[in-house]
Every structure is written in structure tokens, then in C-alpha cells.
Amino acid sequence: MVRSISSEPTGGSEQHGDLETWCDMVVFSLDWHPPDHVSFLSSHSEKCVHGVCVCGNATLSASVQQAASAAVDEATTSLGLDKDWTVVVPSPCSENAEPSVVRLWPPHCVQNTPGSKLHSAIKVHIGDFAVFKGGNSSSECFSACGDDSMPTGLVQLLRSVGAETVAVCGFCLDFCVAESAIGLRAAGRKLFITLLDTKTV
């Protein structure tokens, strides 16, 4: 979902270098999570909080359980994931579901709450755009491009205005910024990351 910003909130300060002086357009990406989002610690049983679990249907077959364990081992080895905060989720919950690895977080950016809004220190201008990601309860999405099941419209927006080069920045470098950069590069955009405006977890 892409929205054009039609009014300027009060307050806020310019980002490094005043983006409007060297960018033709600015697009903000916001998490837009439902209250029961799969990445929330509160969406899982206590056993998931400090370990790895298979969520959903408790009667999943042994083959699915085995595939889930294999996915955890592979992700932990190849990606260096923190196993204490990882959960394997077959989605949708079925015998043929492919397990995926999801990092658990405290609830954040819940739809229609103050936490889902841009921080008051960010300067917003009329004509800037905003895209919303992570709106599907059953899947994680770090990229500002969205995913196959729920694209944000960012790629289409950039194509419509002929934007070939994109500067990516924000919070946090090791998840949302990185995945957004990967998604934009896959969509054929040239890009760079402005590290002065970017933070890690």
C-alpha cells in the first residue's frame, strides 16, 4: 500500500544532508503489524520465548516436525541466526507446509497505534510517500518492497517515476534496511545505503 503524504506534521528535524536537496522523492517504509503478528513474542506460547518451536497445528506429522528442525539447523549454521529468538512456523498450517524461520520480537508498530507512526523527530514534507509492510499476521516481512503475497507497491512506484537509483537508510541495518536493499536490487534498481542515517539493532 502506497500513500502520498498530504499534510506536514508539526516538529521534526531534517535528516543528514537534507534529503530533499539531493533526492527527487522520499518514501518512508513503516511496519504495519496486526496485533497477532507471527513475529511477536506475545503471539507464541512460553516454550517459544527461549527456544525454537513449531507453531500452529499441534498434530503436525513427524515429517513436518523433522523438516522444521532441519530448517532451524540450516538457518543457524548458514545465517548465524540467534537460536534463542527464532521460531519455525509452517504457514499455512498443513501437512505440506514449508517451514520458515522467523525471529521473535516484542510487539511493535501495531496497526493504528502510536507505535505505527513515524517518529516525531523525522521531518516529513507534503508529496513524500509512505509504504506499509508486515500486514500479514502469518508471515514476516522486513523489505520495504513487501513480498509475493503482499507487495507494498514501492517497486511499482519507483518504476512509474523512472527512479533508477535509490538511497536506503533507517532502522535497522541488519534486518529491514538490508532486506529492502536486496529487494530493490533484485527489482533492478541501483542503490546505496547512507550509513549516517542508519542504525543496527
Closest CA to 154 of 35, 26, 20, 1: 1
Which residues on neighbouring strands pair with residue 198, listed in sequence order? 170
Which residues on neighbouring strands pair with residue 30, listed in sequence order? 132
Whole-number Å distance between alpha carbons of 106 and 41: 6
> What local confidence, expressed as pLDDT, does residue 40 receive?
87
Instruction: Extract the C-alpha cell encoding 98.
Output: 514449508
- Contact call for residues 72 and 84 (beta carbons, < 8 A): no
Whole-number Å distance between alpha carbons of 40 and 6: 32
Instruction: Extract the C-alpha cell encoding 91.
Output: 504457514
Residue 21 vs residue 161, higher pLDDT: 161
Instruction: Work out whether the CA dihedral 99, 100, 104, 108 comes out positive or negative.
Output: negative
Q: What is the mean pLDDT of residues 12-24?
A: 61
- Using the predicted structure, report yes or no on whether residue 182 has a pLDDT greater than 50: yes
Reported as a single tens digit per residue, the pLDDT across 45-81 is: 766 655 555 555 445 566 666 766 676 666 666 656 5
* Sequence letter at residue 163: A
- Contact call for residues 64 and 94 (beta carbons, < 8 A): no
Instruction: Extract the C-alpha cell encoding 166.
Output: 535509490
Whole-number Å distance between alpha carbons of 45 and 39: 12
Whole-number Å distance between alpha carbons of 47 and 44: 8
Closest CA to 25 of 143, 171, 159, 133: 159
- Using the predicted structure, report yes or no on whether residue 29 has a pLDDT greater than 60: yes
> What local confidence, expressed as pLDDT, does residue 48 receive?
65
> What local confidence, expressed as pLDDT, does residue 100 receive?
64
- Using the predicted structure, report yes or no on whether residue 194 has a pLDDT greater than 50: yes
pLDDT band at 93 (very low <50, low <70, confident <90, very high): very low
Whole-number Å distance between alpha carbons of 51 and 86: 7
Reported as a single tens digit per residue, the pLDDT across 164-180 is: 999 999 999 989 999 99
> What local confidence, expressed as pLDDT, does residue 52 receive?
54
> What local confidence, expressed as pLDDT, does residue 54 receive?
59
> What local confidence, expressed as pLDDT, does residue 58 receive?
46
Reported as a single tens digit per residue, the pLDDT across 106-150 is: 899 999 999 999 988 888 888 999 999 999 988 889 999 999 889
Whole-number Å distance between alpha carbons of 85 and 168: 26
Residue 4 vs residue 150, higher pLDDT: 150
- Using the predicted structure, report yes or no on whether residue 201 has a pLDDT greater than 50: yes
